[in-house]
Structure 1
């Protein structure tokens, strides 16, 4: 079984419902082990857009990393993801953060996610759900979290995922 950690974000439409639908679609295909609390964050990169809701999800699966990428993209497509503006508004965004303890570098997939340690909206929910998962990447995420000023980073606990 593979341990996979995902980041899911949304800032268009019914944001909480978008997160719930994405997790439901994941549950139909893989074992969802744990879902973080929901965090609201200011947009990064392209800032002229609504705030995001973000969660992290730990799943277990027999799928390969490439198969997980295809599943994430299929869920994005099913929920109506449109890729117009880099870092722009989106109904849903699923990113593979970690795949076991592997380092993967292909044309279409980089794991660990290349910018995850720069983003509080990724690190905070990831660390929340990873207490039983030990890896070099997770240790780096915990160290990063210890150095972040969450108020300055603009991340707010929005609520529990239900």
Structure 2
């Protein structure tokens, strides 16, 4: 069984509903078991800033899917929840990103793992470190760290203690 970490975000419509539906869709997939879930954080947009704030969380999954099958499953969930790609880093109903997959280093045209910008983004690291506080970067072997996340626009929105709270 493979272990992967995903980041999930939403900033259009009922953001909490979209997060819940994404977690449910992951968990109901035959090859995926959501094993841990972070609290939900409200975060300022990055890149394209003329949009609403996001709700973000991270999940740990156990999966029998290979990384490319997992990517396809994530994209299918995004599409099923109305994701439209019009503006890079623009508004979205839901966004699922594969952050880590085992300790693999994957560089393909359609998938890079570890996620190339995760170390720069508190909105990714804060939820990830909540569920995996001692996780190391698979390439460098160094711990992920975040300093003063509140100053970077990451605020606790809803405390989540177990996966079942969002299923």
List per-residue Cα deviations over 1:3-33 (Å, max 9, x = no partner): 0000000000100110000000001111110
Which residue of the partner structure matches residue 156 of structure 2? Answer: 157
How big is the shift at 1:130?
1.1
CA deviation after TM superposition for structure 1 residue 139, in Å: 6.1
Correspondence for 1:82? 84
Deviation at 1:141, TM superposition (A): 5.0
Contact 2:58 2:128 in 1 (8 A): yes
> How far does the alpha carbon of each residue in 1:21-78 deviate from its partner, in whole angstroms, 9 at most, with x for none?
0000001111110010000000000001000000000000110000000000000000
Q: TM-score, normalised on structure 2? A: 0.90
Partners of 1:139 and 1:40 lie apart in 2 by 29
Provide structure 2 residue ranges, at least 5 long, that are not aligned to the other structure.
none
**In structure 1, distance between residues paired with 2:120 and 2:141:** 14
Flag structure 1 segments of 5+ consecutive residues without an equivalent: none
User: Over aligned residues, Cα RMSD in angstroms?
Assistant: 1.5
Superposed displacement of residue 140, structure 1 = 3.8
Indicate the structure with greater helix content. Answer: 1
User: Given the two structures, how large is their TM-score scaled by the length of structure 1?
Assistant: 0.93
Aligned length: 158
